[in-house]
Amino acid sequence: MTNDSALATLPNLRDLGGHRAADGAAVRRGLVYRADALARVDDGDFAALSRLGLRQVLDLRTAHERTAEPDRVPDGAEYAVLDVQGNHSTGGDLERLLTDPGAAAEALGGGGAAAFMLEVNRVLVTEPDANAAYSELVRRAATGPTAAVFHCTAGKDRTGWGAALLLTLLGVDREVVFEDYLASNPRMDRLRGAMRRRAERHGVDGDLLEPIIQVREEYLAEAFAEVERAYGTFDAYVSKGLKLAPDLITTLRERMLEG
């Protein structure tokens, strides 16, 4: 499966490999994948997913999301919860905004939707639940059995920061990291339509949701800016926020880089 291919019922599944680090080394394919939730995968796409030989499924979603839509986990794969939002308010707010017209209008109107997304990206960098989950994601990518897939619901925000973190640790240029992040947009037409229909059934103006059901360059930029505000440098974020030892990062690079 290449970064250009997509499964109809798992459209944001893609290999983290194939990118090239600044020193010319390539990120190995077939080791770590990013995806949207594995809950609605049809049988044909599930068979294709199973052929990847997955041995870890790493779920970044909240307890509510996991209960409402449990993953379909391929045989032989360990399932692990790495809840990056825990009880933080941004984890539960989206559900309310999709179903409460008054709350949606108040929170998302007048630029509120974009502001909400910027806050989500700051939280992913600084909240203890997020730091613990992303630290475990890196550890499992470096030392756990492969192939592995990590995902949230749409595979764009929580998963997007996880991918940006891993690619940055592997030495991939920031420009390429942003390209990988923005590649979610054309893959989300199905989800975008489903979210709008669900919101509109509850009387919520679907147009209010557009900033939430997209990825935008400024969202990921805000996460990197929060790294600098909170920790000073990306390396300090890794060592002090994620509490990852240099030896583990070396192990990650040895596993995932070639050439």
Average pLDDT in the chain: 92
Find all residues with CB under 8 Å of 118, minimum gap 6, and list them: 218, 219, 222
87 has a pLDDT exceeding 70: no
When pLDDT is cut at 50, 70 and 90, the band that residue 15 belongs to is very high
pLDDT average, residue stretch 182-186: 94
pLDDT average, residue stretch 188-217: 87
Which of 138, 133, 151, 210 has the alpha carbon at shortest distance from 7? 151
Rounded-to-integer distance, Cα 162 and Cα 135, Å: 10
Is 8 a domain residue? no
- Determine whether 119 is exposed, middle or buried from the number of CB atoms within 10 Å of its CB (0-12, 13-18, 19+): middle
Q: Provide the CATH number for the domain around residue 215.
A: 3.90.190.10
Residue 257: strand, helix, or coil? strand
Total number of residues shown for the chain: 259
Q: How many domains are contained in the chain?
A: 1
Predicted pLDDT of residue 1: 45
C-beta separation of 210 from 239 below 8 A? no
Is 141 a domain residue? yes
Predicted pLDDT of residue 3: 44
Range of the domain at 155: 14-253
pLDDT average, residue stretch 115-125: 95
Encoding tokens for residue 117?
A: 């997304």
Is 4 a domain residue? no
